[in-house]
Structure 1
Amino acid sequence: MQTSKSTTRIISISFFTLALLGCQSAYYGALEKVGIHKRDVMVSRVESANETQLEAKQQFQTALQKFKSVRQFNGGNLENIYETLNDEYETSAALADKINSRINDIESVSDALFEEWEKELSEYTSESLKQKSAQQLTKTKSQYRRLIRAMKNAETSMKPVLNVFKDQVLFLKHNLNAQAIASLKGELNNIESNVATLIKQMNKSIDEANQFIKTMSQ
């Protein structure tokens, strides 16, 4: 019987996933041999994500100011304006991608940590210690869910901002004239509103990350 292309693709993906999981297990195992546990890796990754969030927050605020500066444009080199705004858009988009990667890293280690934690509950001989560990696991999972939800909400809020940035930069690229400037000026209120929503979501995410790091470090 001939194997269909879709079946072959599914099998390939399955083998890749198993290989990836095997690599991750080996990676965490190697770290634990030198005293670095999954809990430590998780805290480190949340810290890295938080640093990137702070960097992104500053970048989006800077980009907004650059876009708003067009209000004072009364003639001059539109090519320079395009280059400036395009740089701001590309930097913002790169940081958004970086945050997505950071979130994926956190989710990866959290899966491994919670799976291990659940499994080790059955190894307790003391019922009271088992119960305390189970309660701590439940609490940590709850905090983790709040953290990831906040991070993903912030990430989602970046998309409408990036979309408007990109649209205006593209239009300006192909229309280096007064019409393009007028279009950008007309979108500034929308841009400001989207950025304000984004900053609000990012502040929530940053606060959740700080609280999670504090709890996990105790």
Structure 2
Amino acid sequence: MKRITLATALIIALSGCQTAYYSAMEKVGIHKREILVDRVEATKESQEESQQEFQSALERLSTLINFDGGELQSAYEQLNSDYESSLASAEEVSVNINKVEDVAQALFDEWQDELAQYSSANLKRESEKKLTQTQRQFDRLLRSMRSSEQKMQPVLASLKDNVLYLKHNLNAQAIVAIRGEFKSLQTDIKSLIDDMNRSIADSNKFIEQMNASK
């Protein structure tokens, strides 16, 4: 019970921090709608960076499975560096998606609450219609973002397996074993990059829709 209480308190505290942040930004003329667009843009950019990191790791593995003599310790260190970079970029993507979801929820809650302030039934109806449309557009975007986010985890796990195996088996047999796993990982990374491309395209579309409806 104590653990649940502490977790709940932390969530409330973080929520309060975000609320204060949005309030402070509004005082200088930056509203939740603009913050949402900026955060979608930031998420898109982090996905593009993550694509590059995963592609780099795949290319490193491709070079490794064709290893023909030399220092395997150096090859391990390079692959481990690629894995760490991929992990860091994936974590940044997740953080950015969470930020997008947070500000979107705050925007939609505020929008819903303010519907009650209309005196004009026609304007209220139009605003409510626009809210529903924007929520649907955002829900599609969020599903796309979360889908690509989920696909990163098995790829990271596979990369880590290869790094660990090479770390403890710096010999030709390790290369043979990694070579056997390469095709599957190659397919997974290609699928991930394709999924990210769809998410990036959805982000661009959402940003255009938000800017067009200002």
Q: For this structure pair, what is the TM-score category when the shorter chain's length is used for normalisation?
A: over 0.9
CA deviation string 1:73-101 (max 9, x = no partner): 11111011101110111100101111110
Tell me how far 1:17 sits from its aligned partner: 2.6
Equivalent position of 1:144 in the other structure = 138
Identity over aligned pairs, percent: 47
8 Å Cα contact 2:65-2:176 kept in structure 1: no
Tell me how far 1:19 sits from its aligned partner: 2.5
Equivalent position of 2:193 in the other structure = 199
Residue type at the aligned position of 2:165: F
SS of 1:195's partner is helix
Q: 2:147 aligns with which of 144, 153, 156?
A: 153
Residue type at the aligned position of 2:193: I
The root-mean-square deviation of aligned C-alpha atoms, in Å, is 1.1
CA deviation string 1:106-158 (max 9, x = no partner): 11111110000001111111112111111111111111111111111101111
Tell me how far 1:10 sits from its aligned partner: 2.7
Matched, 1:41 2:35: yes
Equivalent position of 1:95 in the other structure = 89
Equivalent position of 2:106 in the other structure = 112
Matched, 1:124 2:118: yes
Tell me how far 1:199 sits from its aligned partner: 1.0
CA deviation string 1:9-39 (max 9, x = no partner): 3333333333222222211111101100010
Tell me how far 1:183 sits from its aligned partner: 0.8
Matched, 1:81 2:75: yes
Tell me how far 1:193 sits from its aligned partner: 0.6
- Equivalent residue runs for 1:6-25 within 5 Å: 6=1, 8-25=2-19
Q: 1:185 aligns with which of 151, 176, 179?
A: 179
Give TM-score, length-normalised by structure 1: 0.94
Equivalent position of 2:202 in the other structure = 208
User: Mean alpha-carbon deviation: is it higher for 189-198 or for 63-72?
Assistant: 63-72
Alpha-carbon distance in structure 1 between the residues aligned to 2:77 and 2:7 = 41
Consecutive unaligned residues of structure 2, counting only runs of 5 or more, are none
Consecutive unaligned residues of structure 1, counting only runs of 5 or more, are 1-5
Matched positions, count: 212
Residue type at the aligned position of 1:9: R
User: Mean alpha-carbon deviation: is it higher for 137-146 or for 70-79?
Assistant: 70-79
User: Mean alpha-carbon deviation: is it higher for 24-33 or for 34-43?
Assistant: 24-33
Alpha-carbon distance in structure 2 between the residues aligned to 1:23 and 1:95 = 25
Residue type at the aligned position of 2:124: K
Distance 1:165 1:26, change over 3 A: same
SS of 1:207's partner is helix
Tell me how far 1:69 sits from its aligned partner: 1.0
